[in-house]
Amino acid sequence: MPVIHEKFPKPLPPMPGRLSPLPSDARTVPGYVVPYASGLPRILFVHDYDPVSRQTQVELRGIGYPVAWIGRGEEIAAGVAFGPDVVVGDRAAVGGRVDELLAALGGTCPMVVIKPAAPAGRAPDRRPAGGSHLVLGVLDQAYKMDALTEMLTAVTPQERDAAVLERAMLDALADGRCLLDNLYYDFLPKIDLRRDTIAGYEALARLRNLPSINPEILFTAVMDLPLEIAATLCAVRAALTLWRALAIEQRSAAVAVNCSQAVLADPGFQEALQREVRDRAVPVGVLLIEITEDARPVPIAALVTDMTTLREAGIRFSLDDFGKGATNFDRVFNLPISEVKIDRGFFRQCLEHPDRLGILEQVIRSCRQRGVQTVIEGIETDEHLVVARRLGATLAQGFYWGRPMPAGTFAHIRPY
């Protein structure tokens, strides 16, 4: 259980525990938030997005099941691309086209049928599921997970490349113009290591169809630039909505949004970003743009020009992913940044090779001398926290304090 410091203005939610340990052969797929276990079937949920199903999906992912969801007819191609071993859903979902989905899967994919809730004053529909496909069982909407997992034991999974299938599903969602509508944002606090308080919040993109996918993959692997710009602006609005809610409660804090260099360099994005800040009367320094590692790098001179213009509008900048890929001191020294974020992978390498900790300490000291804050990512244990403090970092982030949570966890969100 993570330590929750008494100085926090509001306790952070603890990291949810798994229902049971992952199997010994569980593997982490690069680019994915949670491990998956080989030998477990791939599950596609097909129905309206409801709280019971959402919680079940979280629990199934927690014990290693590969899980995805679709809720509209336009997403059928994406569901097929996911390559499920079993479909769990309401036969009236996706516009009554579940049989079409099953046929596209080859007609051999079994299904667990979920009976929808009955309208007020009417008894639930207890008729057989129908259709020519194999039905493993029927569950009421308020089903228990134990009943579902018992049915899943009858499914024989196929050996396939999970990363390839998830990528194919993302491509299908983008092709069907379904990706943007399914984005939502959780928030991960930034912790002030000197005061033991929440210093800010970072918006992290999530996809309802594939919540386990890493935002880095989501924003760089499949999106064309206009779609990425639109998604980044959605993140900005979500972050500023949280800031406003915190400000109303007199707990104002900075909010951060990830942004690729290619998006930041777009004139239309710059104009829209300044308009959001101006229309919401956002104070100087509240919005922090975290510039991510990008396969489409922009020349430093051009970045400096764009960032300087936006700084005049009160927007601050952070250099994300330091120690990963091509991120180097050249950008730290030449870009008008207020913050440098130490990549969690680089931090872990330094922990495994203590001789490298001196290099990281020099980086942090150099930033401090220039008035630039440093954030160490990936803090998950007491040891990580002790080392981060000893290195002299300003801020830290990680599951030590809790997993990313919806904005409503931290403040009462009101319509803007």
Per-residue confidence (pLDDT) for residue 331, from 0 to 100: 85
Look at residue 412 in the predicted model and tell me its pLDDT.
84
The reported pLDDT for the residue numbered 39 is 85
Res 12: pLDDT: 41
Per-residue pLDDT tens listing for the chain (416 residues)? 333 333 333 334 333 332 233 333 333 334 444 445 568 999 999 988 877 788 888 889 888 999 999 999 999 999 999 999 999 998 888 988 999 999 999 988 999 998 765 443 333 344 444 455 689 989 887 777 888 999 999 999 998 888 889 889 998 998 889 989 999 999 999 999 999 999 999 999 999 999 888 766 776 655 688 989 999 999 999 999 999 999 999 998 999 999 999 999 999 999 999 999 999 999 999 999 999 887 788 899 999 999 999 999 999 999 999 998 765 677 888 999 999 999 999 999 999 998 889 999 999 999 999 999 999 999 999 999 999 999 999 999 999 999 899 999 998 887 64
Q: 227, 262 in Cβ contact below 8 A?
A: no
Report the C-alpha gap between 317 and 307 in whole angstroms.
8
pTM of the predicted structure, to 2 decimals: 0.84
Three-class DSSP category at 344 = helix
- For 168, phi then psi, to 5°, come to -65, -35
Contact 407, 241 (CB under 8 A): yes
Q: Which two tokens stand for residue 75?
A: 């997403």
Residues 256-294: tens digit of each pLDDT: 999 999 999 999 999 999 999 999 999 999 999 999 887
Spell out the SS3 assignment of the chain.
CCCCCCCCCCCCCCCCCCCCCCCCCEECCCCECCCEECCCCCEEEECCCCHHHHHHHHHHHHCCCCEEEECCHHHHHHHHHHCCCEEEECCCHHHHCHHHHHHHCCCCCCEEEEECCCCCCCCCCCCCCCCCCCEEEEEECCCCHHHHHHHHCCCCCCCCCHHHHHHHHHHHHHHCCCCHHHEEEEEEEEEECCCCEEEEEEEEEEECCCCCECHHHHHHCCCCHHHHHHHHHHHHHHHHHHHHHHHHCCCCCEEEEEECHHHHCCHHHHHHHHHHHHHCCCCCCCEEEEECCCCCCCCHHHHHHHHHHHHCCCCEEEEEEECCCCCCHHHHHHCCCCEEEECHHHHHHHHHCHHHHHHHHHHHHHHHHCCCEEEECCCCCHHHHHHHHHHCCCEECCCCCCCCEEHHHCCCCCCC
Give the pLDDT of residue 355.
87
340 phi/psi in degrees, rounded to 5:
-125, 130
Pair 332, 340: CB distance under 8 Å: yes
CB contact burial 55-82 (16+ within 10 A = b; e otherwise): ebbebbbbbbbbbbbbbbbbbbbbbbbb
pLDDT number for residue 219: 67
Q: Which of 314, 280, 290 is nearest to 375 (CA)?
A: 290
- CA 33 to CA 55: how far, in whole Å? 17
Tokens of 242: 């949280």
Q: List strand residue ranges (DSSP E) for 47-158, in order.
A: 67-70, 86-89, 111-115, 135-140
Phi, psi of 70 (to 5 degrees): -135, 155
Cα-Cα-Cα-Cα dihedral sign, residues 41, 46, 52, 57:
positive
Separation between Cα atoms, residue 211 and residue 82, nearest integer Å: 13
Tokens of 62: 């927690």
The tokens 């929440």 sit on which residue? 198
d(CA 160, CA 168): 13
Q: Using an 8 Å Cβ cutoff, are 246 and 236 in contact?
A: no
Q: What pLDDT was estimated at residue 44?
A: 97
Task: Give residues with Cβ within 8 angstroms of 52, minimum separation 6.
Answer: 141, 142, 143
Joined together, the tokens standing for residue 54 give 């959402």
Distance CA 62, CA 43 (A): 13
pLDDT given for residue 253 in this prediction: 94
Cβ count near 50 (within 10 Å) = 17
- Read off the pLDDT of residues 86-117 as tens digits, 9 standing for 90 and up: 999 988 889 889 999 999 999 889 999 987 65
Residue ranges of domains in the chain, CATH in brackets:
39-158 (3.40.50.2300), 174-409 (3.20.20.450)
Cβ-contact 362, 156 below 8 angstroms: no
